[in-house]
A and B are shown apart, each in its own frame.
Chain A
Amino acid sequence: MTTLALMHDDNTANDPQRRAPLVIGPQTDETVTDSVCRVTEEVRTPRAWFVALVVSAALTAVFFGTIGYLITTGIGVLGNNRPVMWAFPIVNFVFWIGIGHAGTLISAILFLFRQQWRTAINRSAEAMTIFAVICALIFPGIHMGRIWVAYWMAPYPNQMALWPNFRSPLMWDVFAVNTYFLVSAMFWYLGMIPDLATLRDRATSRLRHSIYGLLALGWNGSARQWQVYERAYLLLAALATPLVVSVHSVVSTDFAVAQLPGWHTTIFPPYFVAGAIFSGFAMVVTLMVPARAYFGLKHLVTLRHLDNVNKIMLATSCIVAYSYAIELFIAWYSGHSHERFVHLNRAFGPYAWTYWLMVACNVLLPQLFWLKRCRTTPWIMFLIALAVNVGMWLERFVIIVVSLSRDYLPANWAMYYPTLIDVLMLLGSFGLFFTLFLLFCRYLPMVAIWEVKHVLPREEVNHGRTRA
């Protein structure tokens, strides 16, 4: 199949007179179904996939091992200490929640914007979203220390007359993130039902047939089902859209409602949302560049898709840069000595290297995406995306840890250093994330088959439209 594509594998040219094809080569319904389903139907375990899975699973074991150690020993195994009471766990939480923003943006907002190129990448981006939110949800949970009372966060009538404090943004977080998780999981699963039915219908073994059959919920592809289905999909997209904005806005209020310079500034909500989308798209590139090559999906996830993703990264990088700049300007303009200090401390204090590395990764390197060559060369975008992942993690470190380490009272200042457990937990969370993603690639339809069929070039001819 991929050999067909090799003839014209570049669909990135821009001709205002016609829209570029979103698949490469003469694709039909059958070839699309085949190339996606084949990945899950291959009987022999792909070797590189298996090696990657073993490594990730090992890291996952480290993750849960360190969590066990933390719960049995106490929060003192982490580097958190006065005045830096929020450190790696919250940095990791915000980092993973941010990653989890690309999926819903692609599936909901780009859907409402009629961006048809989303069809080839939405499924994997949504999966990534859910796995990232799982990683994110773990961190505040274990950061509480007494994990066995986590259920106190739920508002339920009880004999202790305890009720969550709804004036606390931490409580808003619980609801925002859980809602987000539920809605994205629903959206992901709903979108997958027709494709699960395809897998069911193609199954050759009884076991596959019953598992995919169970998951497909009796889908038979009747016109009536499609009619109801597409309406439900549109409604869910509309419901998910405000969530894309609200979740990270609420996360930003964890910091911005405080009075701490470096945390309290009004641009935080939109700035956090832009940063989240930025990091989420970086993760999409990090995952899809290897996956499309390894699983033979280059003709569906084309260079044009990656080109567009990289443009969104460039745009969000510029928004993030705008926020950095406005924060700096207003810190000076305010004439407020503490506001001014916190920015000087970021740039020239003991953690200056994190700040400058962050600026390099988030602002300077993505500017390479102005060049089409960088937007359409897989290895270049892969390296830039990796740098953005690093940069966006550092951004949260700079905001959270560096601001806390030097607040109003110099007598209260102290440096923060992570412990080995902190570092292992961060690595371990990547293990969990990659384990889940690798399992997804092998056992579920990685590309939305039914949606890609909608954007095959023949569709336009069928509608009798001429694109002048």
Chain B
Amino acid sequence: MELLIATAVGALTAAGIYMVLRLRTFPVIIGTSLLSYAVNVFLFASGRLALNAPPVLRDGVETYTDPLPQALVLTAIVISFGMTAVVVIIALGSWLSSDDDLVDVPAVSDGDAAEPALPREQRQEAAQ
């Protein structure tokens, strides 16, 4: 059973990384979501696997699975929804306002990039 979990985490991670490396926003968002699954399962599994031992206290039951990773992962799942939503609105904003959903910033020539990096004052001083 451990082998199944490990390979599932591996598959989700690999798929997530591959999608994150794509050039458009939508697949990158999908990639981060897949990575979230992988990370959540990873964290959950770090409490070791147990069958039929939910951490809900019952009289006469002695063995329970590790509740701590579960609590951590529970909030992580909800937070990752918030994160996905923020990334999606950013991607939408860039697509709607510039018709561009490429992830990479287009390469600029050195001269263009150097100019705005200097504060105005320094440029004036350099010119003097």
Partners in one complex: no
Q: Measuring CB to CB, which residues of chain B are less than 8 angstroms from any residue of chain A?
A: none
